């Protein structure tokens, strides 16, 4: 079982050796945050303005919405771990470029291997496509996916719409809240490691 100090050492090491071009424009690296022994890891896209300033993922409006949804299924931020595929804020919150995702990929894999969650929840198309490049979020949101990867032991994945997108689209918000309720059901299906 991972500890907070293990994750802090991992993040410090990767922040030093990481070669992502966004390092030069971001305020700081935004490490993953939460319970190092979490059964569920949420993966978003990249830090935004508030995350860049505070150094914590999902602290803006999307993070508040995420906290509400966690509460709706009887969970809190302390129960889960949350991170992003890219650890530095892209300028003006633009989409991360393929080379920026690639530069942070090994860092993400190391993070996931340390935590070893039972379920990975993708928040949005970027994190989904990092693992399942040919899938469309509109086709697979809310569907439990099972696949083995060589660099992590987790085999169960649940893609969801990104909370930021759902904030501005009422229909997507209702869909995301409906899909979110599938997290406890997925955890019941997965035999804990």
Q: pLDDT digit string (tens) for 115-138?
A: 999 999 999 999 999 999 999 999
- Its pTM stands at 0.96
Query: CA neighbours within 13 Å on the CB side: how many for 180?
Result: 24
Handedness of CA 94, 61, 13, 119 (dihedral sign): negative
Given a contact cutoff of 8 angstroms between Cβ atoms, the answer to whether 147 and 69 are in contact is: no
Q: pLDDT digit string (tens) for 31-72?
A: 999 999 999 999 999 999 999 999 999 999 999 999 999 999
Q: Alpha helices of the chain — where are they, by DSSP H?
A: 4-17, 49-54, 61-72, 98-115, 125-131, 137-140, 163-167, 170-180, 182-189
Give the confidence band of 1 by pLDDT, cuts at 50, 70, 90: confident
Given a contact cutoff of 8 angstroms between Cβ atoms, the answer to whether 111 and 83 are in contact is: yes
Looking at domain 4-186, its CATH architecture is 3-Layer(aba) Sandwich (3.40)
Write down the domain spans for the chain. 4-186
Mean pLDDT of 134-161: 96
Does the pLDDT value for residue 158 go beyond 90? yes
Give the confidence band of 192 by pLDDT, cuts at 50, 70, 90: low
């Amino acid at each position: 079982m991972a500890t907070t100090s293990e994750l802090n050492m991992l993040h410090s090491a990767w922040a030093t050796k990481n070669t992502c071009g966004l390092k030069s424009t971001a305020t700081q690296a935004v490490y993953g945050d939460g319970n190092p022994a979490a059964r569920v890891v949420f993966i978003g896209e990249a830090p935004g303005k508030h995350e860049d300033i505070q150094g914590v993922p999902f602290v803006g409006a999307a993070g508040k919405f995420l906290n509400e949804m966690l509460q709706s299924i009887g969970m809190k931020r302390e129960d889960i771990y949350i991170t992003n595929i890219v650890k530095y804020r892209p300028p003006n919150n633009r989409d991360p470029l393929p080379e920026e995702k690639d530069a942070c990929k090994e860092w993400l894999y190391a993070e996931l291997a340390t935590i070893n969650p039972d379920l990975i929840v993708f928040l949005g198309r970027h994190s989904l496509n990092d693992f399942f490049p040919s899938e469309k979020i509109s086709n697979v949101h809310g569907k439990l996916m099972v696949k083995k990867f060589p660099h992590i032991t987790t085999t169960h994945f649940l893609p969801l719409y990104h909370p930021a997108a759902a904030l501005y689209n009422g229909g997507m918000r209702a869909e995301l809240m409906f899909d979110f309720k599938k997290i406890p059901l997925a955890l019941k299906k997965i035999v804990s490691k």
